[in-house]
Amino acid sequence: MARFKLGFGFADIRGKIGNFVYSIQKSGVSTIRQCAQAISNPMSADQAAIRGNLALLAGEWRDVLTQAQRDTWNTYALTKPGMGVKDGGILHLIKGNNGIMSGFNAFVLVNQWLKSVNKTAQGSAPIGQIAPTPPLSVSAVYAGGNMTVTWTAPVTMKPNAQARIWIGSHQPVCHRQLVAIEEANAGTKVITGFKGANGIVIPFASAPGDYFFQMDTVDIDGTKSGPSNTFEVTVP
């Protein structure tokens, strides 16, 4: 919410109105910056799918998994996965999260991913798995409305591992987000745009600016790598 001070016209204005943030510097100069519009549609297809999967996984945890299987997830939660340093939504693999994550949350973390790419959910935790490495030599080229992203396959991964492409931008401002998934050894993917407010796809051709790409790898069991290097591309 913005705060106004009336004088001859506006003597002062601070805060947020719509997608614009107003502030006053010490010198008295008023500044305006634009911020990204949050995705606010609670019934977008992606969000509905996530909620549906969560309900299914909660039922499986309660009614399908054996106590021995639940115990494997409790152990896995203490030793392998967790919300590490957040980098625009990319999950880092960390060890020893001091019990912050429950076995149920670890079960959901792994299996939400598997269900999102139409893979079979795992009943027992992937204890002892070696984390995959991220794709190497990530680059991208823009031409004719299409962004062609290329990469070198990860050094460490299991068969059918998936490479995930994340995108962000400096101008226009868009939060870093997952925009594409491809077989990790495919080496290339063509992308035409990114998601804006309410899940609407915005074509690159209609949104010139500076974009940056980063990737990670997810093995078939849901084990995630750290992030790759970043690569920036300008859409004229």
Q: For residues 153 and 219, state if they share a domain.
A: yes
Domain with residue 214: its CATH number is 2.60.40.10
Query: How many domains does the chain contain in total?
Result: 3
| C-beta of residue 193 within 8 angstroms of C-beta of residue 202 | yes
Q: Is residue 72 part of a domain?
A: yes
List, for residues 81-100, the tens digit of each pLDDT value: 444 443 333 334 444 444 46
Partners of residue 164 on adjacent β-strands: 181, 216
- Give the pLDDT score at 1: 47
Residue type, 181: I
| Residue, of 220 and 133, whose pLDDT is higher | 133
In-domain check, residue 121: no
Mean pLDDT value across residues 28-48 = 57
- Which three-class secondary structure state does DSSP give residue 77? helix
The residue range of the domain holding 79 is 45-116
Return the half-sphere exposure (C-beta side, CA atoms, 13 A cut-off) of residue 127. 15
Per-residue model confidence (pLDDT) at position 174:
74
**159, 111: one domain:** no
Shared domain check, 108 and 173: no
Residues 161-219 pLDDT 10s = 889 999 988 777 777 888 888 999 999 999 999 887 666 788 999 989 899 999 999 88
User: Does 73 share its domain with 20?
Assistant: no
**173 plus 218 within the same structural domain:** yes
- Give the pLDDT of residue 216: 92
Are residues 164 and 229 both part of a single domain?
yes
Starting at the edge strand that comes first in sequence, how are the strands of the sheet with 188-191 ordered?
136-143, 146-152, 188-191
Residues 220 and 140 in one domain: yes
In this structure, is residue 11 part of a structural domain? Answer: yes
156 within some domain: yes
